[in-house]
Each structure stands twice: as C-alpha cells, then as structure tokens.
C-alpha cells in the first residue's frame, strides 16, 4: 500500500469531533494478533482493558492487575495496531493514591507501550484533579463511570444510577471529567435514561457498555463479542460469533488427525 493509501491514524480530536455525528466503535484487545485484526476491521479505539485480568488471566476481578501487566499487554497490542487510537487502562492503585505517582505511572504506560491515551475509573474531585494534571502534561485521558470494576468490593456488580440522587451524581461526575479535559467517558451498566441524560449534559463522547443506545459509541470486551467465553452472558451482550465452538472443533479435528496419522501428510513433511 502506498503512503497515499495508508489510512490516517485516529486522533483524540477525531473522537471528540464524532460526538452526535457518527457512532464510535470501541473493542478491547490484549495481544498483537487481535490488536491487528480489530484494527483491520476498522474500529476507532482499541481499549487494552484491565478486563485482561478476568478474561485472559482468569482472576475473579480486575484488582490484581498490575502496571507491568498493562505495559506488557499494551505494548503487544500497539505492535499490531496502525490506525485505531490505542487506550490503555490504568490499573487499581496506580492513579488513586496521589497525583505524583499517577503522573509517573501514566507516563510509563504511554512511553513503554506506544499507546495514545489512558483510561481511569471514577469522577470524584480528587480523580478529576489527577485527570487535569495528566491532560496538562499531554496525556489524553478517557473516563469511566457507572459500574467501575475496580470498586467492585464497595459497589457490587449492579446497575448504577437507578436512584435519582445516584443519577445526579453520575451527571456531576461526567461534567467534572469533561472540565478536567477528558476526551471521552465510558458509561458502564446504567439505565438508558441516565446514559441519555449524561450524553446530553456533556460535550465529550460517551461510550456505553450495558448503558443503552443513547451513547455516542459502544464498547464490548472482545472475547465476549466473539463468543469465546461461554460462562459470561449478561443481558446487554450480543455475541457476533461463536468462537468457543470453532476452537473446540478445530482442536478436536487436529487431535483426530494426529491419532489417525493423517497429519502431517507427506507434502507437509521435509
Ligand atoms: O477493562 C475493560 O475492558 C473496560 C471496558 C469494559 C470498558 O473497562
């Protein structure tokens, strides 16, 4: 492909400009192979989520995920992506303690992975102040409100914002993140009406997961979208493939070929 045909990399400005115009497509990826495939499929943002802890490492939450895990997976994804905007999650306790350590940690994530942006959970005054400092030193930040998995022990896995006061707090938090300079915000597990109110209250794009159709974009965890995880079937999930059957069938077929001496054949040998 000549340089004239090479698609221009997606920037945070492109993402901001899409609000209210064209829906933004986000999927997670954790390695170079899927990073390359989802980039070739034309997604706008590849999120290296700390969901890597659940879906790749088999942890029961995202809490054990470390900065080094995120750097390893973020760098692998970046080696496969040439167009989409790569955003890497800041894991638990790498940005909540104080702004100084948050800046050092997000600096490492950007410098050592090649990603263009980071994502943090929560919208308190303290988090917003940290986001503002990250943005000030030139690091684009995506927010994350609603069900925030790093707070699972405090809030449980449940839809957020059902009560009026909770919904109001989410709107305040979203505005606070916008004021701090976040370029977009993920809204996870909340009633459609609340996501709609947030989307209309802020000038930055909202990216929904289990938050209905009113958001400016949607994100899904890739192994869920591909049907690689039989055990996870929340109401909001739509599986676009059934790869767990495909994988089992392919590996069974390989096993049968080996046992029946059909693989390798003569023309596959040296
Ligand atoms: O870690 C992750 O994959 C996420 C998405 C669910 C938004 O934060």
The pLDDT > 90 percentage for the chain reads 97
Atom number, ligand 1, closest to the C-alpha of residue 221: 3
pLDDT (tens digit, 9 = 90+) per residue, 210-241? 999 999 999 999 999 999 999 899 999 999 99
Distance separating alpha carbons of residues 44 and 27, to the nearest angstrom: 9
pLDDT (tens digit, 9 = 90+) per residue, 256-265? 999 999 999 9
In a domain, 58, yes or no: yes
In a domain, 3, yes or no: no
Q: Is 220 helix (H, G, I), strand (E, B) or coil?
A: strand
Residue of 49, 63, 157, 225 best suited for mutating to test ligand 1, as the one with most atoms within 8 Å of CB: 49
Query: 124 and 204: one domain?
Result: yes
Report, as an integer, the average pLDDT of 69-81.
98
The CATH number for 219's domain is 3.20.20.60
Q: How many CA atoms lie less than 13 Å away from 140 in the CB half-sphere?
A: 21
Query: 79 and 149: one domain?
Result: yes
For residue 1, pLDDT beyond 60? no
Tell me the CA distances in angstroms from 46 to 34, 133, 169, one per residue in order: 10, 24, 28
Query: 196 and 251: one domain?
Result: no
Query: 269 and 206: one domain?
Result: no
Q: Which residue out of 112, 136, 163, 188 is catalytically annotated?
A: 188
CA-closest candidate to residue 67, choices 87, 94, 44: 94
Whether 220 and 27 have beta carbons less than 8 Å apart is answered as yes
Query: 34 and 94: one domain?
Result: yes
Report, as an integer, the average pLDDT of 16-22.
97
The continuous run of DSSP H or E covering 45 comes out as: strand 45-48
Q: Is the pTM of this model over 0.85?
A: yes
In a domain, 4, yes or no: no
Query: 64 and 143: one domain?
Result: yes
For residue 2, pLDDT beyond 80? no
pLDDT (tens digit, 9 = 90+) per residue, 77-94? 999 999 999 999 999 999
Query: 131 and 252: one domain?
Result: no
Any catalytic annotation for residue 188?
Answer: yes
Range of the domain at 249: 243-270
Query: 269 and 204: one domain?
Result: no
Distance separating alpha carbons of residues 226 and 198, to the nearest angstrom: 29
Query: 158 and 254: one domain?
Result: no
Total number of domains in the chain: 2
Nearest CA to ligand 1 atom 4: 49
pLDDT (tens digit, 9 = 90+) per residue, 94-128? 999 999 999 999 999 999 999 999 999 999 999 99
pLDDT, residue 7, reads 86
CA of residue 255 to ligand 1 center, whole Å: 35
Ligand 1: residues with CB < 6 A are 28, 47, 49-51, 89, 144, 186, 209, 219, 221
Distance separating alpha carbons of residues 169 and 175, to the nearest angstrom: 10
Query: 22 and 138: one domain?
Result: yes
Query: 218 and 263: one domain?
Result: no
pLDDT, residue 4, reads 57
CA of residue 268 to ligand 1 center, whole Å: 42
């Amino acid at each position: 492909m000549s340089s004239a045909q090479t698609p221009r990399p997606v920037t945070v400005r492109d993402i901001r400009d899409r609000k209210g115009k064209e829906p933004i497509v986000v999927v997670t990826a954790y390695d170079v192979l899927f990073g390359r495939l989802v980039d070739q499929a034309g997604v706008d943002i590849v999120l290296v989520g700390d969901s890597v802890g659940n879906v790749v490492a088999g942890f029961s939450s995202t809490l054990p995920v470390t900065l080094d895990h995120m750097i390893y997976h973020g760098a692998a994804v970046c080696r496969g992506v040439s167009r989409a905007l790569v955003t890497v999650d800041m894991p638990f306790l790498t940005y909540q303690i104080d702004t100084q350590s948050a800046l050092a940690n997000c600096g490492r994530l950007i410098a050592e992975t090649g990603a263009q942006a980071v994502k943090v959970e929560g919208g308190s005054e303290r988090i917003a102040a940290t986001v503002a400092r990250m943005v000030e030193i030139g690091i684009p930040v995506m927010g994350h409100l609603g069900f925030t998995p790093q707070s699972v022990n405090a809030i449980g896995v449940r839809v957020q914002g059902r009560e009026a006061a909770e919904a109001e707090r989410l709107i305040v938090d979203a505005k606070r993140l916008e004021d701090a300079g976040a370029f977009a915000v993920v809204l996870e597990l909340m009633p459609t009406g609340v996501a709609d109110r947030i989307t209309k209250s802020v000038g930055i794009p909202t990216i929904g997961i289990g938050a209905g159709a009113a958001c400016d974009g949607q994100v899904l965890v890739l192994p869920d979208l591909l049907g690689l995880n039989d055990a996870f079937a929340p109401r909001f999930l739509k599986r676009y493939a059934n790869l767990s059957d495909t994988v089992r069938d392919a590996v069974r077929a390989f096993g049968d070929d080996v046992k029946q001496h059909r693989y390798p054949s003569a023309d596959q040998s040296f």
